[in-house]
Amino acid sequence: MKKTLQNQSGSSMVEMLGVLTIIGMVGMGAIKFIGGVHNVFIQNMVVNEARDLQKSISDRYRFNGNYSDLFNDRSCEEDDKVAAYICENKLAPFQMCSGGKLHHRGGGDVKICRYVVQEEGGGATPDDTKYVMIFYGLSNTACSSLAQVNWYTRQKTDIFQMVINGDVAGKTTIIDSHYIPGDHGDNVFPVSTAKAQAACNNDNDNTVQLIFF
């Protein structure tokens, strides 16, 4: 009788270890699943923020034919003043504004400034018909998703050019609209999934620069 009880005790221990192993595997799977869902939520929020911000700015200043009122002769080095103006006038989604500065849902900074044309000989001239929106500190998924946004509205494209800095070593991908003269090969909109993923790295240090009409 004593031997039988010892065997039952041993079997119970093995069964308990098996149950704990299964629980652990299920728990790890659940954590991975939740992490994946969270990443998708973040990348969708970043894209939505970019869309909403672009629409608000374009709608408010398009009738003027330029963005001079927004920038008021401010340079890109004064982008904090532009951000403060955008937040005060509720041009950005409320969650993007904190302390008069702009941030995207992924945690990185957002910078908005006037577009400057680099001239031959080193000079630079502001172009008040365009502006630049820069998203810093993007994950690979958020960078890739933002790169693939379709900015085609109002029977034409709203975007002039996109620059993706997906590597701290200087890897840069430039995507042009059809409104920029010249042969750009396959570096024109729309951007394929494969090209977007190749342009963005696997870390959280991607930068996407969007130049809008």
Looking at residue 167, its pLDDT comes to: 54
pLDDT tens-digit series, residues 110-147: 999 888 887 766 677 888 788 999 999 999 999 999 99
**Regions of the chain where pLDDT drops below 70:** 1-11, 18-19, 24, 26-38, 62-63, 120-122, 153-156, 166-170
Domain count, the chain: 1
Own/partner pairs, 179-183, CB within 8 angstroms, 24+ separation: 179/213
Q: How far apart are CA 66 and CA 54, in angstroms?
A: 14
Please give the structure tokens belonging to residue 10.
């041993």
Looking at residue 117, its pLDDT comes to: 82
- Residue for token pair 């998924």: 141
Task: Provide the domain limits for residue 76.
Answer: 2-212
CATH of the domain at 8: 3.30.1690.10
**HSE-CB of 189 using CA atoms within 13 angstroms:** 22
Looking at residue 74, its pLDDT comes to: 79
Q: How far apart are CA 200 and CA 21, in angstroms?
A: 37
